[in-house]
Amino acid sequence: MKYLVTAATGNLGSKVVNSLLKLVPASDIAVTVRSLEKATALKEKGVDIRIGDYEQPESLEKAFNGVERLLLISSAGDDDTRIRQHLNAVAAAKKAGVAFIAYTSIANATNSKNLLAPAHRATEKAIKESGIPYSFLRNNWYLENEQSSIDAVVAGSDWVTSAENGKVGWAIQQDYADAAAIVLANNKQDNTVYELSNTPITQKELVALLEEILGKKITIKNVSDEEYAANLRTAGLPEEVISMIIGIQVGIRENTLNVSSADFEKVLGRPTTPLKTALESLIKK
């Protein structure tokens, strides 16, 4: 059996590969990367390193040759870019004869109004239409996405948000990586959909956990989207990044990530990492 993980040197991909190494022999694992240089550590572990670029379909088809089970990790960029790249990967998988695709999607992808949902919805549709058996890993939200806010309150600043009382099913990225590795390694996953979400909580509840850890009161500053954007401009962020951050705040405020499901623990076979423990791991000492 040959397993392949795309984007294997990224934050999520590297964690998935390390988790997969605990489940299957290294000789059975392949990865796609755009730079061999960045994959030196994986090669030393016995992983098969292949060049694969989402923008170069021919490289993907070659990289997917002989692969039976593929984990397609979603790319970055705007909707048009992501859809094009993902469809390139699905078409290449079809041509290469891949027997199964697991895809890292987003919470409630079918009906979500989240800023990031359209690309995931289009990718899920393309995978279904390919006829390749699949598993959609509908990841909620990485706790690491709040790293800058966590760093700010540790340094003495307020927790600034325009998301109001929207709820999020935050979990540490390692839990998502473990779940992806388990699904990829398990042959009985054809045509499954998993909503990988922790119990949804508000930012106020998340900050309360930080207060326990830090032993101090943290002020939550609720601002408008316009004020939030102005703060980001002052910090020197480019407009396209600001637009995405504000869009995410809107999505949280509108509860697009407020998804309750028992799938996460079902897949992991264990409870997810407690949020307090996860937060402690993200606090820079």
The pLDDT of 250-269, averaged and rounded, is 97
Helix (H) or strand (E) holding 18: helix 11-20
Compute the distance between CA of residue 45 and CA of residue 37 in angstroms, rounded to an integer: 14
pLDDT bin (cut points 50, 70, 90) of residue 218 is very high
Q: What is the DSSP letter of 56?
A: B
The superfamily in CATH containing domain 3-139+173-195+260-269 is: NAD(P)-binding Rossmann-like Domain (3.40.50.720)
Residue range 21-59, pLDDT digits in tens:
999 999 999 999 988 888 889 999 999 999 999 999 999
Q: What is the pLDDT of residue 285?
A: 55
Instruction: Give the angle subtended at the CA of 257 by the CAs of 133 and 219, to the nearest 5°.
Output: 150
User: What ranges in 186-274 are assigned the alpha helix state H?
Assistant: 203-214, 225-234, 239-253, 263-268
77 near 59, Cβ under 8 Å?
no
Residue 6 in contact with residue 14, Cβ under 8 Å?
no
Read off the pTM: 0.95
**CB-based contact 228:162 (threshold 8 Å):** yes
pLDDT 10s digits, 180-199: 999 999 989 999 999 999 99
In tens, the pLDDT along 89-110 reads: 999 999 999 999 999 999 999 9
Report how far apart, in Å, the C-alpha atoms of 121 and of each of 90, 106, 127, 187 are. Answer: 14, 9, 10, 24
Alpha-carbon torsion 267, 144, 11, 240, what sign?
positive
**Cα angle for residues 135, 138, 139 (degrees, 5° grid):** 130
pLDDT of residue 180: 98
CA gap 158, 150 in Å, rounded: 10
* Structure tokens belonging to residue 254: 């509108």
